[in-house]
A = this chain, B = another copy of it.
Amino acid sequence: MTVLAPRGFVASATAAGIKPDGQLDLALVATEDARPVPVGAAFTSNLLAAAPVQVCRAHLTASGGLSAGIVLNSGCANAATGSEGRRAAELTCELAARALGVRPEHVLVCSTGTIGTRLDGDRIEAALPSLIGGRGSTPDHAAAAARAILTTDTRTKEVVVEADGFVVGGMAKGAAMLSPNMATMLAVLTSDVSSSSQALHTVVSSAVRHSFNEMTVDGCTSTNDSVIVMASGVGPEVQEEALAEALTAACADLALQMVADAEGGTKVVRIRVVGACDGGSARRAVRRVAESQLVKASWFGEDANWGRVLSELGSAGTPFDPDRVSVAYGPVTVCRDGVAVDHDEEALRKVLGSKQFEVICDLGLGGGSATMISADLTPAYVELNMGRS
């Protein structure tokens, strides 16, 4: 049920012909009664923000953070498309708003796909009646919407978190150009709580920081990243902390699903840097390791190349003492105080051979720690990204 697990929402999907192969490429998540409700949102930090991101920002300002629905398309990012692209995004909102009986600023829009190609407004215009008319609240509606936003993803990403007295549901897409602040990713989350847009804005920012911003696939920051949470208000008011906790859990689950579906990826690796001077140093160091081509290639080869890990830690631009650093793969320490240590080779092979494992780097300097989730770098990733796209 995912985005439809919380009460008060409907969803829909259709094939608008944006993707050439006739697959679902247009989705809607809206309130059941087309009533604008409080939303919180976080967008890409990329200065090349796509047209839909620009339009969302403007609409949230104009509406005071209220929205009745979100239209999402795959197959075209509508980024680097200038004023024509902005008009196409605005047109999408206007048409959907008219059909829903709300003002254009009460509709948000998200796009994902290739950068630099024109979004065909005519196709969206032609497809909107069936999108709006087809909305409903069955599991099939939720599943179709989750499928319609995929690009190179090989599977849908959905989540439901049942909290005390309320529910958070979500769907997302993302498989590459994935590096925080945030990732090439769209995520729509819903909840039945009663909340305000201000409160939602606060909790979504914090949830993103502790989920999507702690993963990377390739260190590339997309132009379209959008995370939007809508609260239908059908359910109770809850403590902000409880909502933040449930929303963070939902986002972290979706983030893990994205890394697990990383383009060409075969492994999910959680990197932990502990013992850093402070949190900022730890975050910088952990990102350096998580984004290292050489380290990521070694994971693919199931090679415990801790020398490359050390080399990244030493060049992260943060305090580092070569005589104090230790590295472990899961429970197997392979480097202590900066040099190789004897270890159980069989246990190490087992860790590296599994689909998901941890690399723990202890800098031995202080109390700062940070975590990131990353994927291995494989020939398949290169092959998926070399082509005309």
Chain B's nearest CB lies how many Å from the CB of A150?
Answer: 18
Contact A338 B80, CB 8 Å, known A220-B292, A294-B176, A313-B48: yes
Total identical chains: 2
Task: Assess whether B115 is in contact with A311, with CB atoms less than 8 Å apart.
Answer: yes
Task: Assess whether A308 is in contact with B220, with CB atoms less than 8 Å apart.
Answer: yes
Task: Assess whether A297 is in contact with B46, with CB atoms less than 8 Å apart.
Answer: no
Q: Does A165 contact B (CB under 8 A)?
A: no
Q: List chain B residues, Cβ under 8 A from A297.
A: 381-382, 385-386
Task: Assess whether B177 is in contact with A298, with CB atoms less than 8 Å apart.
Answer: no
Task: Assess whether A222 is in contact with B311, with CB atoms less than 8 Å apart.
Answer: yes
Looking at A66-74, A275-283, A314-322, the stretch in contact with chain B turns out to be A314-322
- Report how many residues on chain A are interfacial, defined by Cβ distance under 8 Å: 64
Task: Assess whether B177 is in contact with A221, with CB atoms less than 8 Å apart.
Answer: no
Contact A322 B49, CB 8 Å, known A219-B293, A339-B82: yes
Q: Does A114 contact B (CB under 8 A)?
A: yes
Distance A293 CA – B297 CA, assembled complex (angstroms): 12
Q: List chain B residues, Cβ under 8 A from A294.
A: 176-177, 218, 220, 385
User: What would 7 A/B residue contacts be, using CB atoms closer than 8 Å?
Assistant: A79-B310, A80-B307, A82-B323, A115-B305, A116-B339, A218-B294, A301-B385
Please name 6 further chain A to chain B contacts, defined as beta carbons within 8 Å, in addition to the given A46-B311, A114-B307, A297-B385, sorted by A numbering: A48-B338, A84-B339, A115-B308, A300-B382, A301-B386, A305-B389
Task: List A residues at the B interface (Cβ < 8 Å).
Answer: 45-49, 77, 79-82, 84, 114-118, 176-177, 181, 218-223, 292-294, 297-298, 300-301, 303, 305-308, 310-315, 320-323, 335, 337-340, 377-383, 385-389
